[in-house]
Every structure is written in C-alpha cells, then in structure tokens.
Structure 1
Amino acid sequence: MKQSFAIIGLGRFGASVCTALIEAGQEVLAIDRDEDRVNEYMDIATHAIVANAQDEMALRSLGLRNFDHVIIAIGEDIQASILVTLMAKEMGVTRITAKAQNTYHAKVLEKVGADRVVHPERDMGERVAHQLISKNILDYLELSDEYSIAEIQISNDKFADKSLLQLNLRQKFGLNVIAIRRKNQRLIVSPPADEVVLLNDVLFVIGETKDVEHMDDVMN
C-alpha cells in the first residue's frame, strides 16, 4: 500500500532511505536546509524542498502532520535532531523514526516522542561482524533487542535435500522461514511445508537473535 513519507535531512542515511522508498513506489517529501543536496534529489523524490527544520512555522507550513511517517535523519547536530523530533510529535505526526548518534541520544529521542530510533553505523557494524564470524549468515537485520531477520545459506548436507516439514526449524530452533532464494535467484515467498531445501539455498528466517545464532552454531 502506498504511503507518504517526509524525510528531514539528506545526508548519507536520509538520502539512501529516500532512494529506497521511491524505488518501492512510495511518496516522499525530502527536506534539507542545504540547497545543493535538495537539488540532487529534485528529480528523485516526489517533492524536494529547502527548509530549516528547526523553524516550527516552516515545518507546519509543510503539513508534516498529514504524512503517514516522518523520518528525522539529521546528521551530527544532536540538538537539532531532538528539537525537530519534539516539534514533530507536538504537531501530531502519527509515526516518527529518528536517527541516533549514540545510546544517550537514542534515549532522549525516545523520551521526546520518537516511535523508533535507528543507529545506522552501529547496525551496519553488527551486520558486518556477523558476516565475518559466520560462513552461513549472509546478512543480518536486527528488528529489536531480541528479534532479527537473517539470511542463512544451507552449506552442509545436514540441512540439504529435506523439506521444511522435515527440518522443522520452528520446533528445533524457534525460527520461521519467510522465504527461500535459489541459486538461480528465484525467490520463493512463504514457502509451503513440503518445499525441499537444496544445498546453497538461502533461507530468510525470522526469530529471536539467540535462536538464529543457535542454528548457525549447529550448521558449522
């Protein structure tokens, strides 16, 4: 379903989110006080506007409260990030996601109204670390402190040539398989229980992080 997003801040994080949302067919208003950055995304975002997000009247004039989701991607200016999050909340924005620089910044953002706080640098570091220490986990996305989605490659015969019903990953590891990617790049979404897992298949699993790590340990 198409949604409307407002992205405040077009640094590396905000710009990448903007591009991904547009590619997914969503409506995006991109906002930054740097005219050069806005001009870069004039032909990418649905709308791109030069504005000082710390100016409450400017934010109100943009109708921020009418957007389904506001993403505050302000870079190094922690004070501005907190102020804009607070103003967006007071304007009645339904859902706010804010970028945090560190743990203390994240705590303040949550207190002033952010519904979700993201740590791009930390999260990327964790993803890279998991890829370095495991030959099975190709990618890893932390959904919360406890839950993750992981791409796990079937690299040994212990798991290959068996159906999902036979593997019974939910019973053995507490994990649900939400998709399978084959070597030919074919993607099987919501695979049935009788789908046979082949060597080098990549399973997209969701569950508690400790259970993902348990399965990875068993496969090694």
Structure 2
Amino acid sequence: MSRETRSFAVIGLGAFGSAVATELARFGNQVIGVDSDERRVSQLSDVLTSTMILDTTDEAALREAGIDRYDVALIAIGRDIQASILSTMNLKMLGISTIWVKASNKAHHRILTKLGIDRVILPEQEMGRHIAQMLNNPVVQDYVSLGNGFSVVNILVPERMDGKELAALGVGKKHDLRLLGLMRGTEFHACDQAGLALKKDDKLILLGKRADLRRFGDTL
C-alpha cells in the first residue's frame, strides 16, 4: 500500500463514522470503511477507497483483511460498547500506530482511556461545547480548544470597527491575546502589514485563554 497519503480505517459507518470517512476521502486520503451492516457498507462503496463487511471483534478477521496496514484507525461503533472495546483491543494488538475511538458515554470513555487510546471522542459533548461558545457571543464564528485553557477563535469585526486600525483592538496591550491574522473573504492577511485597516465582516484569528477571549468579544 502506498504511503504517499495517509491511510485510514473507519470502523462503524453510522452517521458519525460515515461523515468522518467521507470527509477524509474528499481530502484525498486512502480510506476503508468497515461495518457489519451490509446496507451501510454499500452506501459508501462508491465514495471511499474500499469498503468491507467485517466483524471487527474478530482479531483474525481484521488481520486477514489487512487492517493492520493502515496508518490510523477510527472506531465509531455506536451503542455496542462491548464491540467497541473488543475492536479497540484488537487494533491495539495489530499494532496500528494511531487509534481514535468514539465513546458512547462517560463510563465508556473511562474504559477507553485506560486502554491507552490516542484520543477518545464524545461527539455530542464536544459539539455541545462548540455551539455554546458561539451562542454565548454572537461575534464568535468558530473556535478550536488547544488545552490548558487556550483556544483559537474566529471573531467577526462589527460595523462600528470598520476603517479603524488594528491597534484600536488593543490586542497584546489592553487584551492579553495574540492576533494571528485575519480573513477578508477568502484571503488571509498577516497582521504585520503596514497600514492594514479593519473592514466590516473581517474575521480575526485570535489565540488566548478563554476568559480573555470572552472579555475581548464582549468589547466588540
């Protein structure tokens, strides 16, 4: 198997797994989709690099299918926690270097963490926090949590700031934040450009702690 692109095995082709697998394939990666449900597999057979009907709780079947040759595995099995855990253990034994697993609940999350998984995902909670951040402050268009209280956020420039210089934002002085740049439509502008002035609907890309970002958003 060529290593020019990363290869992904997505196990469990429900709504979450299918969405991830489809996007990974759209980015040009090699993606195999695996599920025990023939209907789910057939729906993605023309979208992914390959698909397979397989019982992933069977280590021998996984090995025979060549899943061990993939760089990254995502286990997105839904409510069957036992199948998720057994599949995870099997992939660990196959030696796949990077394994992400979707957890169904906090107990499932704790078990997976004990298994030494690279990342355990609780999609509903993570998306809930994401949406809450944007609902809490309408100028926040998007954000990414970096851990240790730091985030990168995308903040919309309001009409009242149109035409003002970057210094008027108070970033790095009044606000303990770092301005990484701004997006104007589809164009990126570095914020060290001389004479760059703000325009309504520019999107500021800011790095800082959540509390500082929240205070900055409130001032806009």
Structure 1 and Structure 2 fold alike (TM over 0.5)? yes
CA distance in 2, matches of 1:159, 1:79: 56
Report the CA distance between 1:75 and its aligned residue.
0.7
What residue in structure 2 maps to residue 193 of structure 1?
Answer: 192
CA offset digits 1:87-129 (Å, max 9, x no partner): 2112111011111122222121121131011111111111222
CA distance in 1, matches of 2:136, 2:115: 37
- Which residue, 179, 182, 200 being the options, matches 1:180? 182
Q: Is the radius of gyration larger for structure 1 or structure 2?
A: 2
What residue in structure 2 maps to residue 74 of structure 1?
Answer: 77
CA distance in 2, matches of 1:140, 1:18: 23
Residues 159, 167 of structure 1: 8 Å contact kept = no
Return closer, same or farther for 1:19/1:145 CA change in 2, 3 Å cut-off.
farther
Residues 161, 200 of structure 2: 8 Å contact kept = no
Residues 4, 67 of structure 1: 8 Å contact kept = yes
SS in 1 for 2:74: strand
Q: Which amino acid aligns with 2:118?
A: D
CA distance in 2, matches of 1:89, 1:27: 20
Report the CA distance between 1:67 and its aligned residue.
1.5
Map of 1:1-220 to 2, 5 A cutoff? 2-144=5-147, 146-155=149-158, 157=160, 161-163=164-166, 167=169, 169-170=171-172, 172-177=175-180, 179-182=181-184, 185-188=185-188, 191-194=190-193, 195-219=196-220
CA distance in 1, matches of 2:160, 2:203: 14
CA offset digits 1:124-160 (Å, max 9, x no partner): 1112222222111122333446333322111254586
CA distance in 2, matches of 1:207, 1:10: 36
Report the CA distance between 1:186 and its aligned residue.
1.7
Report the CA distance between 1:192 and its aligned residue.
4.4
Q: How many residues align?
A: 214
SS in 2 for 1:203: strand
Cα RMSD (Å)? 2.3
Return closer, same or farther for 1:188/1:70 CA change in 2, 3 Å cut-off.
same
Residues 157, 202 of structure 2: 8 Å contact kept = yes
CA offset digits 1:180-213 (Å, max 9, x no partner): 332xx32317x24124432211123344333332
Residues 68, 94 of structure 2: 8 Å contact kept = yes
Question: Normalising by the residue count of structure 1, what TM-score does the alignment of the two structures yield?
Answer: 0.86
Return closer, same or farther for 1:154/1:160 CA change in 2, 3 Å cut-off.
farther
Gaps of 5+ in 2: none
Report the CA distance between 1:23 and its aligned residue.
1.3
SS in 2 for 1:169: coil
CA offset digits 1:38-94 (Å, max 9, x no partner): 000000001111101111111112222321211111111112112211221121110
Q: Which amino acid aligns with 2:202?
A: D
Gaps of 5+ in 1: none
Taking every aligned residue pair, what percent have the same amino acid on both sides? Answer: 33
CA distance in 1, matches of 2:113, 2:91: 13
Residues 160, 198 of structure 1: 8 Å contact kept = yes
Q: More displaced, 146-155 or 114-123? A: 146-155
